Structure 1
């Protein structure tokens, strides 16, 4: 039985040349080679301008079910 699998690789480092980024690329290359039917997405939180801070205002908006606009 051939099950299709999917992986999401998440990195969070400001330098695209970091050890973290290189390990993620290597992991994706190896997994793609060993399991060609395996789909993989790479999510770079810094490239996405992800803000990990959940402020008091964010928490209030979350509790009131309001979507706050992005500041960046």
Structure 2
């Protein structure tokens, strides 16, 4: 791909959803859905990075999750 996305990360979910239900989006495209909301920590990030403070478990690699989450509040 020429838009900077990792072919493996995007290719796997795209191949698993041949009906077109998966639409790869970059951070800016995802954030646009939440325009007008105030981002709250951790904001927009891979859900692989989300965890409870002090959680001892190993986290999966970002490439293995290929899913972002966003935390925001209404102003």
Give the TM-score of the pair, scaled to structure 1.
0.26
More strand by share: 2
Who wins on radius of gyration, i.e. which is larger?
1
Give the TM-score of the pair, scaled to structure 2.
0.26
